[in-house]
Amino acid sequence: MAGFDRAALERALDQVPQRFKGPGGVAGVVKDGHVIARRAWGYRDSTARLPMDAGVRHPICSITKQFTCGVLLDQIGDPAVLDARVAEYLPEYVEALPTAKQLCDNQSGLRDYWALTVLHGAVPEAEFRRKDGLALLMRMKTGHFAPGAAYSYCNCNFRILAELIEAQTGRDMAELYATSIFAKAGMTTAVLSPDTRSPVDGLVGYEGNDDIGFLPAQNGITWIGDAGISASLDDMLAWEVYIDATRDDPDGLYNRLSVPPLYGDGTPAHYGYGLRHEVIAGAAVTGHGGGLRGFRSNRIHAASERLSVVVMFNHEANAHAATSWLMETALGHDVKPQGIAPRGWDGLWLDEAQGLAVRVAQDATGLTLRYATGPARLTVADDGVARGPGVTLNRAPVGMTMQRTTENLTLTARPVSAAGPDDSAPVGRYWSDELEATLVVDARDGGCFAGFDGMLGAGPMERMYPLGKDLWVITTRRSMDAAPPGDWTVQVHRDGQGAVVGLTVGCWLARRISYRRV
């Protein structure tokens, strides 16, 4: 690092609207406890021509998670106090229950309930009430790994925490956020606004991009704990100033929130108390992003540099990329990944343990890996190993190994042969005992589609494509939450005579869900 470069930072801030195109946004920087830059551009409502400004409150979405954990630490102290009550919200769960701390650290092993809304037949714009979230939680029977063993992003962890906190304190989260967080940090206009149907301050979020255009997003979610706070740029910068002002207090709230997390076996983890731990521009950083259809936000804090960056868009550009780029610029960090032209990486594999397809496509500069919630870019080094943020791929004689350090996961995937012309779609109706929900597969004249029916209704028919022998993918590009779960891997199971008897369906956020043919 070359040190702090304010002039370069100012130039980069001026470039954000062109580099991350959309209707509007805000960005700000705190250095050494002072706000040194604020930007607001575009419009909060393009149709009404209402300009954006630093006082407009945005739904900060999942950035809320750290504030939920902050309320827990401020009002209750030890998360273990809540452990005995976790079962109240998972009454049908038959496996080991997570602790409250494992909920805080996304180590519960629970499947994400926003991903499960797709399997329960949700229409993206439909209303999702607070009681619907509770009903979905109370149907859960199993998870996708043992609590404390690994990491998986899971919104319902923080929904359960909010319910536990309210039950334990006898106070609602709106009041608790206000007294434990907003008042102390000087976030004078921040509020809990859990109903996404009514964004505050006339702010409109937009789906789309600069290539296809932008349309106002319609949301119907009511959420609390996992998201729900609305705050202005000025509010968020006040939070960063508060973090700096309490930096030398070991009992300060942010110091307690940002303590280095561990897995159950003592291995260092990368997520704890609603904060992601990563390295940007050579500096250890804590922060979090947020997303709802039509909105993206991100905040990061480098304690060693006393530097924080906040970005919020009312569109779906990559806010994490924006904050990272601004911090890299401010710290004079301009290291470009070096790699060699990849060869022999194109292919399809199956991670049988997770039940997920692994797809790799190569181009002149690297690899695109499709496995988790979205495509990841990797670079192949001289040693023949492909690397990207938190991911390493190695080719093996009989498959591929993948290390995902941020999830505490190492896996082996076997190659899958391509689908043949006679590999017909698994047309039929299927029932999941886990979800108490139905999947319908329909195919006509070469087209194949899948529809999910459950407690939230009858969802849209989604595209379903063959990947390999008895391996299919269902694509979900829009859902109630953002980002959507993406691709669902579908494994077809047959009896001894070759007849289809069931399916296993899963995505990164909700793995290995069994369906039987009915």
At 10, the amino acid letter reads E
CB atoms near residue 66 (< 10 Å): 26
pLDDT band at residue 421 using 50, 70 and 90 as cut-offs: low
- Region of 470 (left: φ > 0; alpha: ψ -120 to 50; beta: rest) is left
Virtual torsion, Cα 136, 137, 141, 147, nearest 10 deg: 140
Model pLDDT for residues 379-398, shown as the tens digit of each residue:
999 898 999 999 999 988 88
Q: Residue 516: pLDDT band by 50, 70, 90 thresholds? A: very high
Query: Residue 113: what pLDDT?
Result: 95
Tokens (6 digits) for 293: 């259809």
Mean pLDDT in the chain? 95
Phi (first) and psi of residue 467, to 5 degrees? -105, -50
Give me the pLDDT at residue 1, please. Answer: 47
At CA 179, angle to CA 295 and CA 306, rounded to 5? 65
pLDDT of residue 106: 98
Task: Give me the mean pLDDT over the 99-118 stretch.
Answer: 97
Alpha carbons within 13 A on the beta-carbon side of 393: 32
The whole-angstrom distance between residue 57's C-alpha and the CA centroid of its chain comes to 21
The 3-state DSSP class for residue 205 equals: coil
For the cut 60, the answer to whether the pLDDT of residue 105 exceeds it is: yes
Rounded Cα–Cα distance for residues 222 and 197 (Å): 8
For 228-290, the DSSP string reads: -EEE-HHHHHHHHHHHHHTTT-TTSHHHHHTSPPB-TTS-B-SEETTEEEEEETTEEEEEEEE
Residue 34 phi, psi (nearest 5): -125, 145
Give the model's pLDDT for residue 336.
64
Active-site annotation, residues:
62, 65
Which residue is listed with tokens 């307690």? 256
- 205: tokens are 């979020």
334 pLDDT exceeds 90?
A: no
| 8 A C-beta contact, residue 285 and residue 278 | yes
Buried b (16+ CB within 10 A) or exposed e, 401-422: ebbbbbbbbebebeebeebeee
Q: Burial level of 462, CB count in 10 A (0-12/13-18/19+)? A: middle
User: Which of the 8 DSSP states describes residue 372?
Assistant: S
The length of the chain is: 518
Mean pLDDT on 183-187: 98
- Each residue's pLDDT tens digit, 66-81: 999 999 999 999 999 9
Cα–Cα dist 430/426, whole Å: 10
Percent above pLDDT 90 for the chain? 90
Model confidence at 419: pLDDT above 80: no
Domain boundaries, the chain: 6-109+145-330, 347-415, 428-517
Give dist(CA 202, CA 487) in Å, integer: 34
Reported as a pLDDT band with limits 50, 70 and 90, residue 342 is confident
In this chain, the answer to whether the domains covering 347-415 and 428-517 adopt an identical fold is yes
CATH number of 428-517: 2.40.128.50
Residue 514 to residue 518: CA distance in whole angstroms: 13
pLDDT of 2:
60
Q: Are strands 447-454 and 462-468 parallel, antiparallel or unpaired?
A: antiparallel
Q: In what order do the strands lie in the sheet with 295-302?
A: 50-51, 34-45, 24-31, 307-313, 295-302, 283-292, 275-280, 271-272
Summarize the confidence of residues 223-228 as an average pLDDT.
Answer: 96
Q: How far apart are CA 83 and CA 97, in angstroms?
A: 9
Q: What is the pLDDT of residues 432-457, one digit of tens each?
A: 999 999 999 999 998 999 999 999 99
CATH code for the domain defined by 6-109+145-330: 3.40.710.10
Give the alpha-carbon dihedral of 290, 452, 158, 315, to 10 degrees: 10
Helices and strands in the chain, H and E counts:
11, 30
**459-466, Cβ contacts within 8 angstroms, sequence gap of 24 or more:** 459/118, 459/120, 459/121, 459/122, 459/123, 460/123, 464/425, 464/490, 466/419, 466/423, 466/425
Q: Which CATH number fits domain 347-415: 3.30.110.30, 1.10.3720.10, 2.40.128.50, 2.60.40.420?
A: 2.40.128.50
Tell me, rounded to whole angstroms, the distance of Cα 306 from its chain centroid: 26
Identify residue 474 by its one-letter amino acid code: I
DSSP element (H, E) containing 58: strand 58-59
State residue 483's pLDDT score. Answer: 80
Q: Which amino acid is at 433?
A: D
Q: Which of 392-406, 413-427, 432-446 has the lowest mean pLDDT?
A: 413-427
- Over residues 181-206, the mean pLDDT reads 97
Model-level pTM? 0.95
pLDDT band at 292 (very low <50, low <70, confident <90, very high): very high
**Between 397 and 307, the higher pLDDT residue:** 307
Q: Reduced to 3 states, what is the DSSP secondary structure of residue 475? A: strand
The answer to whether the beta carbons of residues 355 and 512 sit under 8 Å apart is: yes
